[in-house]
Amino acid sequence: MHEAVRGQRARQIVTIAGIAGAILLFTGFMAASDADFLLKINRSIDIFGRVYKEVTANYVDDIDPEKFMQAGVDGMLGTLDPYTVYIDKENGDEVDLLTNGKYGGVGVTIGIRDGAVRVISVMDGYSAQRQGILPGDRFLTIGGVNVNNMKPDEIRNLTRGDPGSEVKVSVEREGEAHPLDFVLIREEIQVKNVTYSGFVEDGIGYIRLERFSRRAGDEVRQAIREMKLNGNLRGIILDLRGNPGGLLDAAVDVTSKFVARGSLVVSTKGRRTEGEKKYVSTEEPMLSTTPLVVLTDRNSASASEIVAGSLQDLDRGLIVGTRSFGKGLVQTIVPLNYGSQLKITTARYYIPSGRSIQEIDYMHRDRNGVFLVTPDSLRREFKTIHGRKVFELGGITPDSAVELEDLGPMVRELHRKSLFFKFANHYVNEHKTDSILTVTPVVLAEFKKYLDKEKFDFQEESEKRVKELEVIADKSHYGKDVSAELTALTAALGREKSRSFERYEDHITSELYVEIMARLKNEHGRIEASLKSDRQVLTAVGLLKDTREFARRMGMAEHSQ
Query: Catalytic positions, please?
Result: 302, 313, 327
Helix (H/G/I), strand (E/B), else coil: 360 = strand
In this structure, the number of other CB atoms found within 10 A of the CB of residue 167 comes to 19
Label the pairing between strands 292-296 and 235-239. Answer: parallel
What span, in angstroms and rounded, lies between the C-alpha atoms of 501 and 444? 9
Helix (H) / strand (E) element for 145: namely: strand 145-146
* Residues 441 and 390 sit within 8 Å (Cβ to Cβ): no
| End-to-end Cα spacing for the chain | 83
* Residues 156 and 108 sit within 8 Å (Cβ to Cβ): no
Give me the helices (H) in 86-208, please. Answer: 92-100, 127-131, 152-159
CB-based burial, 20-40: b 16+ in 10 Å, e otherwise: bebbeebbeeebeeeeeeeee
What span, in angstroms and rounded, lies between the C-alpha atoms of 475 and 486? 14
CB-based burial, 413-437: b 16+ in 10 Å, e otherwise: ebeebbbbbbbbbbbbeeeeeeebe
Angle 325-328-334 (CA atoms, 0-180°, nearest 5)? 115
What span, in angstroms and rounded, lies between the C-alpha atoms of 86 and 117? 27
* Residues 517 and 436 sit within 8 Å (Cβ to Cβ): yes
* Residues 511 and 415 sit within 8 Å (Cβ to Cβ): yes
* Residues 469 and 462 sit within 8 Å (Cβ to Cβ): no
What span, in angstroms and rounded, lies between the C-alpha atoms of 212 and 193? 6
Measured CA distances, 130 to 125, 459, 534 (Å): 7, 43, 32
β-bridge partners, 381:
391
Q: Which residues contact 85 (CB under 8 A, 6 or more apart)?
A: 77, 342, 343
